[in-house]
Structure formats: structure tokens, C-alpha cells
């Protein structure tokens, strides 16, 4: 399962006069911390609402020429088991680059792929070809270990999948 995860970050910005200036500096600062390692993370202005009236507010709170800016960082996490797993991965990846910046998961959305039916058939064919290759390699090496999907994982079973990922 693939998920789109949106994380809110509270980015401090110093020596600013307006909310627009604070937002621009916060986006720039965050982009510098994330790039080049996480250049696939989208950075957007956060949305804040008044807790009493529900009215939209600026994403930046300014006091004494210092600001705290709400930003939304969006990334796609691939091959996860459930939503909580995707959230942990996103927080860890982003949190490692943004030291001392609090993060909160706002939204987790499962991504539907367009070719789910076509890909599953292709994957089944690829898996059967890989199983045949493994079986022939085992016969050549004189190995009689269990290579079934439920059998123990071996290094030979992992390498073809890794090579396929590199080819893509």
C-alpha cells in the first residue's frame, strides 16, 4: 500500500516584520534543510483556524520580530503495511532533517494506483520467472533448500528483486 502523508511543522523564523516575509523565509529555510536528500517533499503554507470562531488565520504568528510559521510537508510513502506505519516513516524521514522543529501528522491518505489489476498480473508472471531462475540456480549448486514463498528467506531470493528495482 502507498500513502500520501501530510505533516505539519512549526518553523521558527527570526528578524521578520510581516507574516508574508516570515512564510517565505520559513519555506526557504525548510527547503534548505530537506534538500538534496528529501527533494520529493512538497512544502506548503499551513492552514490555521481560530479555535473560538473557526476563522482562517495567517500561517505565521509574529511577536517581537520573531515568528512561528505553520508549514505543511507532504510526501508519499511506498510499500507500507498500514497508516500508522506510513506516519512513522514520514515523521522519521522529515524529522531527521528538521532538528528541533516539532512535527504533527495531519493527514494520511491511501493512494490508489491506476494499473492495480495489470500490475498484479505482471508481478505474478515476474515472480514465477524469478522462482524458476532460483530453482535452476539451486539445481546447479546442488542445493535442496526450501525456496517456497513460505520458506526461509535467503540472500539469493533478495538480490533479483533489488536488481529489478534498480532497472526501473
Q: Please state whether the predicted TM-score (pTM) of the whole model is above 0.85.
A: no
Same domain flag for 70 and 141: no
Same domain flag for 34 and 104: yes
Same domain flag for 104 and 163: no
Same domain flag for 42 and 63: yes
CA 143/CA 46 separation, integer angstroms: 58
Handedness of CA 125, 130, 135, 140 (dihedral sign): positive
| Structural domain range at position 153 | 116-167
CATH number at residue 69: 3.30.70
In percent, the amount of the chain with pLDDT more than 90 equals 44
Same domain flag for 152 and 84: no
Average pLDDT, the chain: 77
> What would the mean pLDDT of 138-151 be, rounded to a whole number?
45
- HEC string for 2-63: EEEEEEEEEEEEECCCCHHHHHHHHHHHHHHHHCCCCCCCEEEECCEECCCCCCEECCEEEE
Could you tell me if 31 and 23 are in contact, meaning their C-beta atoms sit under 8 angstroms apart? Answer: no
Domain count of the fold of the chain: 2
The per-residue pLDDT for range 77-126, each reduced to its tens digit, is 999 888 999 999 999 999 999 988 999 999 999 988 765 544 444 444 44
Amino acid at each position: 500500500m502507498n500513502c500520501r502523508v501530510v505533516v505539519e511543522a512549526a518553523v521558527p523564523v527570526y528578524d521578520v516584520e510581516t507574516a508574508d516575509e516570515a512564510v517565505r523565509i520559513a519555506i526557504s529555510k525548510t527547503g534548505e534543510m530537506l534538500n538534496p536528500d528529501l527533494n520529493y517533499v512538497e512544502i506548503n503554507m499551513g492552514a490555521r483556524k481560530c479555535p473560538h470562531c473557526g476563522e482562517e488565520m495567517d500561517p505565521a504568528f509574529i511577536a517581537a520580530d520573531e515568528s512561528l510559521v505553520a508549514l505543511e510537508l507532504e510526501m508519499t510513502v511506498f510499500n507500507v503495511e498500514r497508516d500508522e506505519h506510513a506516519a512513522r516513516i514520514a515523521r522519521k524521514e522529515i524529522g531527521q532533517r528538521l532538528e528541533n522543529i516539532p512535527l504533527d501528522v495531519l493527514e494520511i491518505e491511501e493512494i490508489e494506483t491506476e494499473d492495480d489489476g495489470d500490475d498484479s498480473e505482471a508481478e505474478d508472471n515476474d515472480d514465477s520467472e524469478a522462482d524458476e531462475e532460483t530453482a535452476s540456480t539451486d539445481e546447479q549448486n546442488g542445493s535442496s533448500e526450501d525456496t517456497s514463498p513460505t520458506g526461509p528467506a535467503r540472500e539469493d531470493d533478495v538480490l533479483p528483486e533489488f536488481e529489478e528495482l534498480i532497472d526501473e
